A and B are shown apart, each in its own frame.
Chain A
Amino acid sequence: MQKQTSGSLSQVQSAGPIPTLPDYQSDGFFDELVDQNNLARPDAEALVSLFNRLPPKELLRRQHAIEQALYRMGITFTVYSDKSGTEKIMPFDVVPRIVSAILWKHIDAGLRQRIRALNRFLCDVYNEREIIQEGIVPAELVDTAPAYLKECRGLKPFNDVWCHITGTDLVRDNSGTVYVLEDNLRCPSGVSYVLQNRHVMKRNFPQVFGASRVRPVTDYTSRLFQLLRDVAPPHVSDPTVVVLTPGVFNSAYYEHSFLAQKMGVQLVEGRDLVVESDLVYMKTTRGLQRVDVIYRRIDDAFLDPKTFRKDSVLGVAGLMDAYRAGNVTLANAPGTGIADDKVIYAFVPDMIKYYLDEEPILPNVPTYVCQKDEDREYVLAHMDELVIKAAGESGGYGILIGPQATQEERDAFAKKINEDPRNWIAQPTLQLSRAPTVVDDHLEGRHVDLRPYILCSRPDDVWVLPGGLTRVALRKGSLVVNSSQGGGSKDTWVVAEQGQAIASVHGDDTDPPEH
């Protein structure tokens, strides 16, 4: 019929050569989109074909268009030091990361298993402490962890769920194996970027969505809202849910307001709430109104100046009393941080065996716990091969990347380890997998990780958002993906299996998938 169709398009549609990315080098790293011969992996063929059909500079043009859209939408960071309020968008890369259906099935199962075990651990460690009595996790590691809150001993959250919302960081090494790098059980951020990245990508690459059978993410906020209602105190039939934010100056404020807006609930600050007779109220133009469920995005220490930090002006005095009295649900529960302490992390595979009697599906990155004498000796002798991390830090702070460090830096860290072994762990330097990323007007490989988001309303009801936040280290050769350290993000496309719902090509797929 149409003989004048452009040559490249008809080549792709016929049984032409398998798509490859011209001038792209995987440099011997494991690449998420292409294999070692630079050929597109099966699920990435539609995407790679599209890139090869684009006119020169088109990819760059779309990259700019998306950055403009994010700026217009006000999805920005404020640069605090600048008085005129300079803002930057979260760096975004237009090339999506694709996860095959079979790999996702593995990740999904592994994460669900992990959350089940972590919830069991949290119930146990604040109550019976059987895992400690059995000698599997040393009592001193738990009791000395800053995130272990004595004030939470004996608490029994509704349904025995402590971590309702989790963001777990995954990495792949050169073999393509997926490891759990860390669990974020307190106030994991970034899911708003997942949803907004998808939103702008659909506008810019509608045709590939259909061809790639991408699973939808937009029902996340409906699921989150349903979860928050489900975990309300049992006596409440129509619970009032709110999101609690530290306020507009918090770096994740955009996400807090985004989630509240999409769920249609009030975004409150501590000063909007008041506790009277162990009941929580918000101050409205019609007087006080009861609050039943709080999705709190404030750290434990600031939640309640009566119980935790006295100087906190972000929290609500008496909130913990209301919580203990069973009049309000806090999601996540206070105290969950003990389970994502970097030292306790090392014991998660043991927890899975102990509580579930199962083999861990997703391995931990091998971890040396400096509190243990033999581990510490090994770490001190091999500092030039290891990544060393402070147990109580996050966001890429308190890290030494041994192979790239100077002798002085290594000596300084050795001193710190000897002074306070409890606070340090070490892991081998993994070569994180890479993904093609727009650099100027061409593609280069950059290291990536992946943070899927997990919702849990009952111990046996765990749901994983198909996808998650792919963070990318934008600097050449860098392994640090944190946004606070100059990292960016990519859309993550989980490929659907036969019969699974996929993201619609046009507009927003707001309908929840059918079960």
Chain B
Amino acid sequence: MLSRVAESIYWMSRQAERAENLARFIEVTLHMTLDQPEYLVDPWEPLVQVTGDNEWFKKKYGKATCQNVVQFLAFDGEYHSSMLTCLRASRENARSVREALSTEAFEQLNNFYHFVRDSSPPQLTDPTADFFDQVRDYALMWTGVLDSTMAHNTAWHFMNIGRLLERADKTSRILDVKYFNLLPRVEDVGTAVDDLQWSTLLLAISGFEAYRREHQLMDIEKIVAFFLFHRTFPRSIYSCIAGVDRSLREIESESESELPGQARQRIAALRHRLENTNVKEVIAGGMHQFIDRLQVELNAVGDSLGQDYFYATYSA
């Protein structure tokens, strides 16, 4: 397929996935504030930290509140990574490669974007608002439409890589910033508030029920292991990495190239490391350091895709 098209599909997919994850962040936080009216900890500040754009936020909004964080993450047209901005960019990318998508896929993303754009911000800081729930529905339909209306060919694999890299990154951020900012000390584990935080974390990746079925009891190691290493849960980091690895293999097998590309080598190394690390080692060595390194490696995979496929130099 055309390099430009592959790149646009990859970004289209990443940006829509990013928008979905922003909705997940906000939604679980809104729910949490209902269960925790006394505000033992401020739930909004960490949401800003998750973006890494704290300075930008402070300049424009000052102190983080429910209202301004929702406005910032969901609707701020000036912020380069708000839900609305991501969806607009995703849709623009989709528009530029519309011929490579199924009609249903474009229409679903088009509806998704219009739904978010046309929603009125003031009502959305009401935690009972079902807006974010609907966003999640739109996002689930979007991925479902892609998977069931498009041939799982090279275009689909680039799409899959985009969404899985983004998902792995966001799952790691949820685990990192959210949990460790809320409860930085392991001694606090086991309190009622803690239990609530655990559940919230799992809810943010739609993993609460899946976790319960396997482990019933809340347990820090098991939850961290669920986030990092679960073999089949679709938002666990390992599962995302393995999916990227599979898609890259498919792309390479079609491209008839003799040597694995840089992206393939990097993702295979990462997968290998995850397979050979256990949760005790992660916690002992410092969870934040582990996740930091993971994110750096995910970024490197993204860069390698560019080198391998998107703007390689050609010769006839």
Contacts and interface: CB of A to CB of B under 8 A. Distances in A.
B255 A268 contact: no
Contacts of A257: 95, 98-99
Interface string A250-269: 00010001101100011111
A283 B315 CA distance: 10
A73 B107 contact: yes
Interface string B154-178: 1000100000000000000000000
B110 A72 contact: yes
Nearest to B101: A261
A286 B254 contact: yes
Contacts of A286: 254-257
Contact of B251 (A71, A74, A261, A285): A285
A416 B162 CA distance: 57
Contacts of B309: 285
A285 B154 contact: yes
Contacts of B103: 73, 261
A266 B316 contact: no
A272 B92 CA distance: 18
Nearest to A290: B316
A247 B8 CA distance: 13
B111 interface: yes
Interface stretch (A40-48, A90-98, A176-184, A274-282): A274-282
Contacts, number: 75
B314 interface: yes
Q: Looking at chain B's contact residues, is the secondary structure mostly helix, strand, loop, or mixed? A: helix
A55 interface: no
A202 to B, nearest CB: 16
B77 A285 contact: no
B4 A283 contact: yes
A175 interface: no
B24 interface: no
Contact of B316 (A71, A73, A265, A276): A276
A149 B316 CA distance: 31
Contacts of A265: 99
Contact of B99 (A267, A277, A288): A267
A85 interface: yes
A130 B65 CA distance: 80
Nearest to A283: B3
Interface string B126-163: 00000000000000000000000000001000100000
A251 B48 CA distance: 39
Nearest to B313: A283
Contacts of A276: 316
Nearest to A279: B316
Contact of A283 (B88, B92, B106, B314): B314
A248 interface: yes
A84 interface: yes
A105 interface: no
B316 A281 contact: yes
A266 B8 CA distance: 14
A77 to B, nearest CB: 12
Contacts of A73: 103, 107, 110
Contact of B2 (A247, A261, A283): A283
Contacts of B107: 72-74
Contacts of A243: 99
A17 interface: no
Contacts of A85: 88
Given A74-B106, A74-B110, A267-B99, A282 B316 contact: no
A285 B1 contact: yes
Nearest to A242: B2
Nearest to A263: B99
A383 to B, nearest CB: 45
B241 interface: no
A286 B252 CA distance: 9
A284 B96 contact: no
B6 interface: yes
A271 interface: yes
Given A74-B107, A248-B95, A284 B3 contact: yes
A35 B3 CA distance: 57
Interface string B193-236: 00000000000000000000000000000000000000000000
Contacts of B106: 74
Contacts of B110: 72-74
Contacts of B251: 285
B2 A268 contact: yes
Interface string B246-271: 00000100111100000000000000
A157 to B, nearest CB: 25
Interface in B254-300: 254-257
Instruction: State the 5 A-B residue pairs at the shortest beta-carbon distance, nearest first.
Output: A261-B99, A260-B99, A257-B98, A276-B316, A74-B110
21 contacts: A72-B111, A73-B110, A74-B110, A243-B99, A248-B92, A248-B95, A261-B103, A265-B99, A266-B2, A267-B97, A271-B4, A272-B2, A272-B4, A276-B316, A277-B316, A283-B4, A284-B1, A285-B6, A286-B256, A286-B257, A288-B316
Given A247-B96, A266-B2, A284-B1, 6 more contacts: A73-B107, A243-B99, A261-B98, A271-B4, A276-B316, A285-B154
Interface of A: 71-74, 84-85, 243, 247-248, 253, 257-258, 260-261, 265-269, 271-272, 274, 276-277, 279, 281-288
